[in-house]
């Protein structure tokens, strides 16, 4: 299909090319698979402007962690997923784990599919106030990182751009690294609430549902930004288009007929509708805990 998919996942953008093994200039894809825990880690590196143009994503590294069994209420499974998230976070953060870190939980806690960021912040072990009170000796003795956290809400609640709020916090607290946590949109229902994307390119709040705000990245904020996202919604048009196009392929329609039909569907009013699973409340709470454990082990109590 040549229609444009709506997704925040770089891996899905890479998968949208006609052939899986096609070489995209400026883009490198590598994969690892943990057979014991059934966790796949895919890394997409966009090296230059050619790759960025082809992928329609900024230059940088995108790590996608797929853990299909996260849909099950198995507490034992959360730990290996959390460990792998932490391991890949450390790759992106490098020595910044030893500096002041600000965790930003984007989203609206009143809307469950958008509540991932605030839920993660609720579970964070914040330490900055302890270090300010008791000093660096206390920090060293207890092997603590310097972590602060904020859930800035959304523009409809505050009347302010998220970037404006974050810039004010940066001016006052001077963190060296920001980790932004947000809900994303996927093109695949199988990746909802089971996939984590990490990237060093930052994020545009609301981009998953076509409501782009000012970007949060190193260029706009002046410090290193890592974005961590979990897809919680999928575009309704994408589900309909995929289902109908598969049926049309099996019943003998030509490719140009399918593409024209899909194009017409995508121009309907359904284009503003998004779908989320019926167990979204439980799923978001579970994966927010998994993500917060990874963040805590990286930054609040680094090894």
With respect to residue 69, please indicate whether it lies within any of the assigned structural domains.
Answer: yes
With respect to residue 5, please indicate whether it lies within any of the assigned structural domains.
Answer: no
Reply yes or no on whether the pLDDT at 100 is more than 70. yes
Whole-angstrom distance, CA of residue 218 vs CA of residue 61:
14
Mean local confidence (pLDDT), 38-59:
91
Reply yes or no on whether the pLDDT at 105 is more than 70. yes
Give buried/exposed letters for 211-228 (b at 16+ CB in 10 A, else e). eebebbbbeebebbbbbb
Return the minimum-mean-pLDDT range out of 9-18, 59-68, 84-93, 157-166.
9-18
Taking the alpha carbons of 186, 191, 195, 197 in that order, is the dihedral positive or negative? negative
At 79, list the tokens. Answer: 């730990």
Report the pLDDT value the prediction gives residue 120, as an integer from 0 to 100.
Answer: 97
Whether residue 120 contacts residue 103, with contact meaning beta carbons closer than 8 Å, is answered with yes
Beta strands at 146-150 and 100-105: parallel, antiparallel or unpaired: parallel
Report the pLDDT value the prediction gives residue 112, as an integer from 0 to 100.
Answer: 93
Strand partners, 43: 30, 63
Closest to 64 in 3D by CA, of 47, 40, 38, 92: 40
pLDDT tens by residue, 110-137: 999 999 999 999 999 999 999 999 999 9
Q: How far are the Cα atoms of 143, 146, 263, 289 from residue 119, in angstroms, in the given order?
A: 25, 20, 37, 8
Whether residue 102 contacts residue 175, with contact meaning beta carbons closer than 8 Å, is answered with yes
Whole-angstrom distance, CA of residue 152 vs CA of residue 5:
29
Report the pLDDT value the prediction gives residue 290, as an integer from 0 to 100.
Answer: 95
Whether residue 225 contacts residue 96, with contact meaning beta carbons closer than 8 Å, is answered with no
Whose tokens are 């049926």? That residue is 247
At 232, list the tokens. Answer: 């919680």
Reply yes or no on whether the pLDDT at 76 is more than 90. no
Query: pTM for this structure?
Result: 0.87
Whether residue 176 contacts residue 102, with contact meaning beta carbons closer than 8 Å, is answered with no
With respect to residue 3, please indicate whether it lies within any of the assigned structural domains.
Answer: no
Whole-angstrom distance, CA of residue 108 vs CA of residue 21:
39
pLDDT tens by residue, 223-280: 999 999 999 998 887 788 778 888 888 888 888 888 787 777 766 655 567 889 899 9
Closest to 233 in 3D by CA, of 276, 194, 196: 276
The enclosing domain of 83 has a CATH number of: 3.40.50.1450
Q: How far are the Cα atoms of 1, 14, 16, 62, 77 from residue 19, in angstroms, in the given order?
A: 11, 10, 8, 20, 33
With respect to residue 22, please indicate whether it lies within any of the assigned structural domains.
Answer: yes
Report the pLDDT value the prediction gives residue 271, as an integer from 0 to 100.
Answer: 59
Report the pLDDT value the prediction gives residue 3, as an integer from 0 to 100.
Answer: 47
DSSP assigned state of 112: G
With respect to residue 294, please indicate whether it lies within any of the assigned structural domains.
Answer: yes
Report the pLDDT value the prediction gives residue 237, as an integer from 0 to 100.
Answer: 79
Percent of the chain whose pLDDT exceeds 90: 57
DSSP assigned state of 4: P
Structurally, the chain folds into a number of domains equal to 1
Report the pLDDT value the prediction gives residue 18, as an integer from 0 to 100.
Answer: 55
Average pLDDT taken over every residue of the chain: 87
Whole-angstrom distance, CA of residue 261 vs CA of residue 18:
19
Whole-angstrom distance, CA of residue 279 vs CA of residue 288:
14
Mean local confidence (pLDDT), 214-224:
91
Range of the domain at 14: 10-300
Strand partners, 298: none
Report the pLDDT value the prediction gives residue 1, as an integer from 0 to 100.
Answer: 41
Whole-angstrom distance, CA of residue 170 vs CA of residue 14:
34
Whole-angstrom distance, CA of residue 107 vs CA of residue 117:
6
Q: How far is CA 162 from the centre of its chain?
A: 17
């Amino acid at each position: 299909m040549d229609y444009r998919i709506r997704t925040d996942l770089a891996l899905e953008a890479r998968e949208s090319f006609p052939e899986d093994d096609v070489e995209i200039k400026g883009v490198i894809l590598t994969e690892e698979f943990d057979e014991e825990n059934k966790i796949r880690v895919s890394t997409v590196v966009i090296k230059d402007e050619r790759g960025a143009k082809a992928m329609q994503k900024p230059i940088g590294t995108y790590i996608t962690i797929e853990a299909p069994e996260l849909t099950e209420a198995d507490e034992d499974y959360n730990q290996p997923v959390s460990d792998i998230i932490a391991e890949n976070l450390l790759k992106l953060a490098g020595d910044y784990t030893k500096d002041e870190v600000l965790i930003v939980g984007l989203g609206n806690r009143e809307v469950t599919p958008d509540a991932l960021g605030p839920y993660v912040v609720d579970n964070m072990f914040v330490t900055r106030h302890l270090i300010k009170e008791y000093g660096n000796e206390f920090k060293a003795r207890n092997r603590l990182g310097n972590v602060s956290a904020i859930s800035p809400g959304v523009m409809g609640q505050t009347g302010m751009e998220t970037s404006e709020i974050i810039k004010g916090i940066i001016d006052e607290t001077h963190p060296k690294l920001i980790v932004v946590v947000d809900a994303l949109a996927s093109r695949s229902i199988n990746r909802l609430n089971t996939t984590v994307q990490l990237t060093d390119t930052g994020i545009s709040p609301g981009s998953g549902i076509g409501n782009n705000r000012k970007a949060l990245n190193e260029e706009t904020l002046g410090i290193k930004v890592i974005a961590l996202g979990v897809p919680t919604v999928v575009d309704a048009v994408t589900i309909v288009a995929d289902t109908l196009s598969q049926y049309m392929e099996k019943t003998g329609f030509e490719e140009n007929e399918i593409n024209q039909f899909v194009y017409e569907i995508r121009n309907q009013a359904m284009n503003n509708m998004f779908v989320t699973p019926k167990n979204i409340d439980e799923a978001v709470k579970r994966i927010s805990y998994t993500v917060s454990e990874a963040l805590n082990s990286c930054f609040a109590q680094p090894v």
